[in-house]
Amino acid sequence: MTEALKLGSTIGILGGGQLGRMLSVAASRLGYKTHIFEPSANPPAAHVADQVTTAAYEDADALAQFANAVDVITYEFENIPTSALDILETLRPIRPGREALRVSQDRITEKEFLSGLGLKVAPFSAVQSDEEMTAALEAIGTPSILKTRRFGYDGKGQARLNSEADRAAAFADMAGAPSVLEGFVKFSHEVSVIAARGVNGEVACFDPGENVHIGGILRTTTIPARLPGTKRMDAVLIASQILNALDYVGVMGVELFVTPEGLVVNEIAPRVHNSGHWTQNGCAVDQFEQHIRAVVGLPLGDGKRHSDVVMENLIGDDMDRVPELLGETNVAVHLYGKAEAKQGRKMGHINRVKPSEK
Amino acid sequence: MTEALKLGSTIGILGGGQLGRMLSVAASRLGYKTHIFEPSANPPAAHVADQVTTAAYEDADALAQFANAVDVITYEFENIPTSALDILETLRPIRPGREALRVSQDRITEKEFLSGLGLKVAPFSAVQSDEEMTAALEAIGTPSILKTRRFGYDGKGQARLNSEADRAAAFADMAGAPSVLEGFVKFSHEVSVIAARGVNGEVACFDPGENVHIGGILRTTTIPARLPGTKRMDAVLIASQILNALDYVGVMGVELFVTPEGLVVNEIAPRVHNSGHWTQNGCAVDQFEQHIRAVVGLPLGDGKRHSDVVMENLIGDDMDRVPELLGETNVAVHLYGKAEAKQGRKMGHINRVKPSEK
């Protein structure tokens, strides 16, 4: 096994949003410094980082300087331009590795990868032309959902088709971007597994959480999820299989639909995940620290939960509830330091902690 | 009641050690930035602060620039030079206020203040000359402990007298500094209460923890402390009385000896306290966030504990145990990012979380 990165080393993080911010705090807890690379000024992560580079992903000099100033590179989002990765990887290790990014940056590549592992995914069909749309609708039918192959998040780049009548509007929504038509999976609920894999191949999973989305945006994650013991094991095995297949290093979020026929993989995210925020107050080692441990080569935490938690996102106007939430018992408030509370913008989250009886 | 400081405001923190570091992280969680003032270069808190000023407490210009750049000032240690406070307080509010600093900076002032409230303290007598030493020994006897009146911490500036024979060595140890001879209190164990008071006068206490010191340095704090219900209430009332008497704003550590005759106040610290580190993993709102809430004028958390915890300091060579500790279940590791692990130096701590049964 590789030696762990020396205490006091610097972890470079691509992206300065709330995930980078919470990764930075976790890094400090283990005695590491962070250096944030982010195109926009004054990002949330900058407030708790040792160094910040404000530059575009097209700025080759800035990328090289950043890489030379850090000991290892990780990221808080998967849509990093390939050209930037080409420069960075010649200078420092990037963890998780490029294969995970390649697979997760494109919905079709991702689904083909997952199917190739023998895992269930929603039926899907590539759509770039009107002809392909016709073929896809014939194969998949409605209800279904048309999504851009790349750069989608929080329900963006998605259009639902309840019937053939929605075809034109949905197709127009994609604005010519390469897309995929996905069949609707009849699921009772969605769960996600936050899984981690270390540099030596050890895998550790947190308990599955149950997710509720509204308008394509995650609202709550509840731990424990409604899931019988056998499916709980299935969920963990699916996540482990994915991580091992990618020779993955770091934390990954794996979203699963629970159906009578078993678990269907919705999507994977090669990074810490919103549905893993509950771990901050439910576990001694949270997903952010788990990711840092993996990235620097330290042993992973075992994912054990000491308390049950309900995580709730604070989106847009939810910020008005903060004064009240601060007064509630066993509620941990986590704000992201964003200046403006726009509609649909994730401003923070709360973890309602319920002492477990074990 | 005063309005709370606006989100995104900056909290100035005097002192860049581990307490400033953990205060900075807590501030970020509530959406605030921090600015550290610290004479030494590359202090632990700098890694997670938005801004850092490296300057001496005698540098009037640097102090004024710092004050003008922040919205409120707090501190991580009580021995801030009076001249610096004189400059800072004309520019920004300092919380906790100067009365708390005046009282806690001098052991005799502190004991007189506590006695004045009707609280029990160890017998004490001022010592600056050989004659006063004679008088003090007559009044207090041995075993007793000679301490400098000011600037003591972690057992530094203290000499124990087991008998009259230790007199000369102990007196020499003080090197002429104004001192105090304290009688030995026969206690079964020491507990501490981490108490907080808001700008509107509300008081909230965390559950008392039981402390074990070795060589004058805190080794462990165990929650809950061995303390019958009535004494638990006494402990909280004593802490509240002290905070109210000082019109205090912020978190204070109150160390108490448990004796058959009741609780005796050992000392108070007008800041977050090592014996409160357990709250990071035992409560939804920890002592650092509680302090920030008080300082910015937000409502306090109620101090409720969701899990039992044993906190253990990592001192000097204890750092060699970190790889092993990282592998233990329900152990949260908190490292301070200090470059060198000197003997007696606090390098980090761990919180062993035990899920509570309630």
Partner-chain contact A307 B304, CB within 8 Å = no
A residues 276..315 contacting B (CB < 8 A)? 281, 284-285, 293, 298-299, 301-302, 304, 306-307
Partner-chain contact B306 A355, CB within 8 Å = yes
Q: Which residues of chain A are within 8 Å of residue B357 when distances are taken between CB atoms?
A: 355, 357-358
Which pLDDT score, from 0 to 100, does residue A118 have?
A: 97
- Cα separations in angstroms, B105 against A79, B78, B101: 54, 6, 6
Residue B283 has pLDDT above 60, yes or no: yes
Write the pLDDT tens digit of every residue in B66-77. 999 999 999 999
Mean pLDDT, chain A cut into blocks of 10 residues (358 residues total): 85 98 98 98 96 98 98 96 95 97 95 98 94 94 92 78 91 89 95 97 97 94 94 96 98 97 96 98 98 97 96 97 95 95 94 77
DSSP letter, residue A338: -
Give the nearest partner residue to B334 out of A29, A327, A354, using CB atoms. A29
Which pLDDT score, from 0 to 100, does residue A312 have?
A: 98
* Smallest Cα distance from B267 to chain A, Å: 29
Q: Touching check for B345 and chain A: CB below 8 Å?
A: no
* Smallest Cα distance from B282 to chain A, Å: 9
Amino acid sitting at position A244: N
Q: Touching check for A81 and chain B: CB below 8 Å?
A: no
Partner-chain contact B335 A285, CB within 8 Å = no
Q: Which residues of chain A are within 8 Å of residue B356 when distances are taken between CB atoms?
A: 355
How many other C-beta atoms are found inside a 10 Å radius of the C-beta of residue B6? Answer: 10
Confidence of residue B173 (pLDDT cuts 50, 70, 90): confident
Write the pLDDT tens digit of every residue in B115-135. 999 999 999 999 999 999 999
List all residues 6 or more positions away from B58 whose beta carbon is below 8 Å from its beta carbon: B81, B83, B84
Complex-level ipTM: 0.93
Partner-chain contact A47 B33, CB within 8 Å = yes
CB A41 within 8 A of CB A102: no
Report how far residue B315's alpha carbon sits from residue B35's, in angstroms, rounded to the nearest whole number. 27
Residue B183 has pLDDT above 80, yes or no: yes
Strand pairing class (B72-75; B51-54)? unpaired
**Which pTM value belongs to this model?**
0.95
Give the nearest partner residue to B335 out of A7, A331, A356, using CB atoms. A7
Partner-chain contact B28 A21, CB within 8 Å = yes
Which pLDDT score, from 0 to 100, does residue B357 have?
A: 56
Confidence of residue B215 (pLDDT cuts 50, 70, 90): confident
What is the CA B101 to chain-centroid distance, rounded?
Answer: 12
Lowest mean per-residue pLDDT among A275-284, B149-158, B302-311:
B149-158
Confidence of residue B1 (pLDDT cuts 50, 70, 90): very low
Give the nearest partner residue to A357 out of B29, B337, B357, using CB atoms. B357
Long-range CB contacts (< 8 A, 24+ apart) of A162-167? Answer: A164/A137, A166/A142, A167/A133, A167/A137
Which pLDDT score, from 0 to 100, does residue B355 have?
A: 75
CB A74 within 8 A of CB A250: yes
Shortest CA distance from A42: residue in chain B: B50
Mean pLDDT, range B171-190, rounded to an integer: 92
* Smallest Cα distance from B161 to chain A, Å: 39
Mean pLDDT, range B276-301, rounded to an integer: 98
Q: Which residues of chain A are within 8 Å of residue B33 when distances are taken between CB atoms?
A: 47, 337
Shortest CA distance from A332: residue in chain B: B284
Tell me the average pLDDT of chain B: 94
